[in-house]
Amino acid sequence: MKNTKILVAQLGARKHYQEPLLFHHWGILDRLYTDFYSGHSSVTKLLQHPKIYNYLPNIIKKSLDRYEPQLKNATIIHFPLFAYQYLQALKKASSDKTSEIFIWSGQEFCQQIIKYGLGNANVIYGFNSACLELFEYAKSQGIYCILDQTLADYSLVYQLLTEEDKIWTEWSLTPFTVNQGDLKLMEREHQEQDLADHIICGSNFVKDSLITRGVDAQKVSVVPLGRLKDNITYSDPPIIQTPLIRGDGLRILFVGSVNLRKGIPYLLEALRQIKGQIPFTCKIVGSLEIKPERLAEYRDVCDFIGRIPRSQIKDLYTWADVLVLPSLCEGSAMVTYEALSLGVPIITTYHSGSIVRDGQDGFIIPIRNSKAIGDKLITSYQKRCYCQETTKTQDYLKFVSQDSESKLRQLLTLT
């Protein structure tokens, strides 16, 4: 791997710059291309000081979050004008035009990189929907290409969302339909998958979807790299009392976009089912993408908090007895890594791509099953048989991280 030089093409701050950071630590990162990076200037550091940062508008906070101190000496090239155009295009686009914006941004990003140059790279590491033209150019130069597939194949995503929209009619603010732009985006990703010499994904769920689509299984590796940006760790002794013994209700938390893909109706139905059986409080945190009149029907069983700054997320995990993520489709959901790192047990699905061990760190339940969610919530109220020994959970997370890094390094030795 000593002669490997990797160019990472990354739109956004996916996984908090996990891959470029690892490559940089290993001494093989040639350059990181991204849309916007706040940098390491004295002005940036000043604005990131808590006494200033906490009073800044959210848009500025988000910009400042595009930063990783351990990448200080890395070669990072960004395109601020393109980033602004991309952001504005997304703001103005209607839901049926979003896929077209993703296609445009991927094409433009690739062209900017090609124009700027590949440097000394002999490996290109790109992310789904934003590396097709770059892969095409790199392959013509004999350069090895690795694709990071962050979500299940769109053929499955579209199938699941179409089904959900029929099950929960008149729920979504923007009902789901597959238009020409969506089909073109799916085809773009299929071309990227076909061009890639190897594909990395965060879970077996994603790998399964690629194999079903026709990708060679030998070409796909599962590498669950879930980096916690704020280095969140559980330092206080875990509270092993059950809510029943503690004398109050079960504290239930949901973190994520409140939409059909995340399975929110099944959690809401589960809360309705267990009302009166156990005392509980539920906080649902994330952008609201369900019609207000639907949400109003469940305000007696939960509080819809909306979006909150990342700085407040840790307080919510510390408050919670259990995190529920009944998602129908993910890559490898970051909230599950965050919750586990703080000793919070999780009720989730195989489709969430989580690293939760059923019966140890929480429960893995079938998708679309409100009763299963309700049953596990009642169990969580009555007994706390997992995540009690936080050191063991931390050891497990450490093992997963080290094993994933080892797999990634081994893969790079084969390039």
Is 112 found in the same domain as 249? Answer: no
Of the residues 190, 222, 254, which one is the last residue of a structural domain?
A: 222
pLDDT reported for residue 235: 46
Domains in the chain, number: 2
pLDDT reported for residue 238: 47
In a domain, 411, yes or no: no
Is 142 found in the same domain as 81? Answer: yes
Is 130 found in the same domain as 163? Answer: yes
Which CATH number covers residue 35? 3.40.50
Is 279 found in the same domain as 214? Answer: no
Is 210 found in the same domain as 112? Answer: yes
In a domain, 100, yes or no: yes
Is 285 found in the same domain as 172? Answer: no
pLDDT per residue over 2-27, tens digit each?
789 999 999 998 888 999 999 999 99
Is 213 found in the same domain as 102? Answer: yes
Burial code (b: 16+ CB inside 10 Å, e: under 16) for 2-37 equals eebbbbbbbbebbbbbbbbbbbbebebbbbbbbbbb
Is 85 found in the same domain as 210? Answer: yes
For the purposes of burial, counting CB atoms within 10 Å of the CB of 217, is it exposed (0-12), middle (13-18) or buried (19 or more)?
A: exposed
In a domain, 61, yes or no: yes
Is 322 found in the same domain as 200? Answer: no
In a domain, 235, yes or no: no
Is 141 found in the same domain as 265? Answer: no
Widest CA span of the chain, in angstroms?
66
In a domain, 270, yes or no: yes
Which CATH number covers residue 336? 3.40.50.2000
Is 194 found in the same domain as 298? Answer: no
In a domain, 352, yes or no: yes
pLDDT reported for residue 237: 41
Q: What is the β-pairing status of strands 76-78 and 123-127?
A: unpaired
Is 290 found in the same domain as 206? Answer: no
Alpha carbons within 13 angstroms on the beta-carbon side of residue 131 total 29
**Closest to 277 measured CA to CA, from 250, 246, 304, 247:** 250
Q: Which residues contact 64 (CB under 8 A, 6 or more apart)?
A: 38, 44, 47, 48, 53, 56
In a domain, 408, yes or no: no
With a cut of 70, list the residues of the chain below it in pLDDT: 1, 42-43, 45-49, 51, 53, 55-59, 61, 227-242, 244, 311, 384-391
Range of the domain at 106: 6-222
In a domain, 407, yes or no: no
As given in the structure block, the two tokens for residue 21 are 């950071």
